[in-house]
Chain A
Amino acid sequence: MKHTQNRTQKTFCKLLFAVLLPSVFCQSAFADDPLPSVMSLDYCSDQYVLSLADRAQIVALSKAAEDLYSYHRERAKGLAKSGSTIAEIVIASPDVAVQTYSTAARMGEITEKAGIVLLNTSYGRDLDTMYSNLSMIADAIGKQNEAESLISDYKTRLENIRSTPRSDFTVAYVTPGGFTGGKGTFINDIIELSGFQSYAAINDYNGWLPLPLEDMIMNPPDIIITSFFDSQLQNQSRWSVSRHDHLLNMMEDIPTIHLPGALMACDGLFLIEAAEQIRSDAKALGVLHE
C-alpha cells in the first residue's frame, strides 16, 4: 500500500515536473528576453523615448537631449548621445530608431537594409497626434502599458483644465524672434486651453507672423506670454520686435509669463504642461482667480 502510494506520488511529481518545467523554462526565457533597443535621432523624438523607454533600452539619444529646450533633459543625463548620422545609427544597430525631423538622405533605405525599424513621428501639433506618436513608439519598443498610462493621465489632466472657469483676459504670445502664433497654431490652442482669450485670435491673426507692435500699443493685451527667452536670448533676433524698447517696457508693465522654451520646442508635445504652467503662473501673478 505504502509502495503504491509512493509510486503514485512519484508519478504525480513526474507529471507536475513535466507540466511545470516548460512553463518555468519559458517564463525564465521571457524574463531574460530584452525589450527592443531604441535610438532617437532628434530632441523631439528624445522626449517620446525618454517618456516611455527603460534606460537600458536606450542605445543613444540626440546630441540636443540635454539642451535647455529639451523637456526631459534631466532624464537624458548619463545616456549616450549621437550625431544621428546614418553611419552612427548603423554602427549602434538599435532595433528601433525614432525621428521627427532629422531626415538624412537615404535614411529609410539604409536603416531598412540594416534591419532597423525606423519610426517617423508627426509633429505633435495636437493631442491626438501626440497620443498616436506615443502609441506607435510604445508598440515598437514593448511599452504599451506605459503609453496607455501616460495617455490616460493626459486625458484626465485635460478634463481637469477644461472644467476650470475661463477668464476674459486676453493673452498675447511673443518669441525672442518677435513672432506670435495666430489661429491654427499650437500656441493659440495652448492659450485657449489655459482658459484665456487669445489676443492673436481676437485680432484675426492667422498662422505665425511677426507680432504687430502697433496693434499692441493701440490695444494692449492683459497678459503677455513669452517662451525661449530662457534658452535663446543670446539669439534674440537683432531685427525682431522683441528687442524694441517699447515692448520691453510693456513686458514690465503688463503681467508677463515666461514659459520655458522646453515646453514649446516640439510644437504641442507638452501642450497640457504648458497650459497648466500658464494657469499656475497666472494665479501667482494675481491675474487668475479660482
Chain B
Amino acid sequence: MTKQTVLILWAALCGLLLSGCVATEGGLVQTVVVTATPTAQPEGAKIVLRVGTGDSGEGLSPHLRIIEQFEAENPDIQVQLEPVGSGDYYARILTQIAAGDPPDLLQIGDDAVPMFVDKGAFLPLDDFIASEQYPLDTSIYLPGVMAPGQWNDAQYLLPKDFSPLAIYYNKKLFDAAGVAYPQEGWRWEDLLATAQQLTRTSADGTVEQWGIQLPGPWTTGFEYWVAAAGGQLIDAEGTTFAGYLDSPEVQRAVQFYADLYHKYGVAPLPADMNAFGGGNSEFDNGKAAMRLFGRWPQAGMLQNPNLELGVAPLPAGAERAGVLFWGGFGISALSEQPEAAWRFLRYYVGAQGAEVWKDWALPSVASVAESSGLAADPIEGVWLAELNHLADRAYVFTPFWGQTADPALRRVLESVILDPTADVAALLATAAQDAQTALDDLRP
C-alpha cells in the first residue's frame, strides 16, 4: 500500500469517526398511506387530518377500513394515516412534537400515557365528550377500558384496542394426562398442582413436557403476580418505592415465580432474555401444557395443529387480580383542527369503529361484544371477563415508571431466573433503593 492510497482511505475514515458522536437511530421507517377519497370535492374545502400510529403491516387494515368508512360519511374530511413501522414510534412523534408538527391524532400505549399527558402533549377530551353537537356516550364501554386514557381525573385518550392476561392451555395434553381443565376460581396452589401433573420427565432426567411456559423477565406481565399477591410496586402518590417494591407481598410473588422455574421445575427457562421471553416456543410445539400471556398470538395459535386451544382465567393468589395492556388515541395539543380531529376520534373509538375492530382485537364497546357473540364465546368470553378483575398497573402512579423501577424490577427477575439460589428479599431491597435514587433524580 502506498502513502496516497492510505490517505484516501483516511479521508473515508474521518466520516466514520465523526459519526461516533451522532446518536444512532434504529432505522426509522415512515410511510404515508393516503386513502382514496370517495367523492370529488373542491380541494380547498377539505380538512386533512393526520393520524400517527405505531402499528404496521397487517395491523393497519382495521385503521384503513375505519378511515374509508369515515371519509364516505364525512366528505369534508380526509384522513391520512402515518404509520411508523418500527420500535421507534415514540422517538418519531417526540421529534415531530419538538418540531411543532405532530399528527393531529396520536396513538399511545398505556405506560406512555402519563409521560405524554403530564407534559401537555394531549388535549383533555371531557368538553368534547360532553359537547352538544358531537357527544360521546362513555357508558357504552366495557369496564376498565377507559381508565388507562385518564390522568389527573381527566380523559385524554380513548381506547383503540386492549388485552388482559390469561392462561392458554392445550386440551390435547390435559386429556392425555387426564387432568381437568382450569376453571374460574382456581388458585396459585391449583396452578402449581396442575403444572406438576402435566410436567413429564424421561428416565435420563430431561423434561419431555413442561407444565407452563412463563414470559421470563417481562416486567409488565409480572405485575399480575404482584397484584394477585396483594402487593403494590409504588405508593399511591408516586413518590416512594421502599416498603412497596420490596414488601413481603412482592417478595412472595417473585419467590413463587422463581420457584415455578427452579424449585418445582414446571416451567422451561427462557431461551433468550429479550422482552416477552420471545425465544420460547414450547407451548406452540405441544411441549408445554399452559402458557401465561396476552391475547396477541391467539389467531396464530388457533391455526396451529399442535394445539387444541383453551383459555382459562388467571388463578387467584391472595387476591383475584389481573392487568390490562392497552392502546389508545388522543388529540395532539398542537393540532390546528381539534374539532375535526374529535369528529374522527369519536367515530373511531365509538360503536362504528368497534364494529370493525371486533374482527381484529377485542372490542371495547359492550354492545358490540354482546351482539357479535364474543362475550359468550368460550375463549373470547374469558378474555372479556378478565376486565372485571383489573388492578392498577404501576405506571398510573408516576410518569417515570419506565425509567426508574421498571429496569430495577427487570434486574430482579433476570437474577432469580438465572440463579436458583438468589436471595429474593435482598434483590428487591437493592431494586427499591436503585429505583428511588433514579426517581428522586428525575422528579422536578
Q: Do A and B bind each other?
A: no
> Could you tell me which B residues sit within 8 Å of A by CB distance?
none
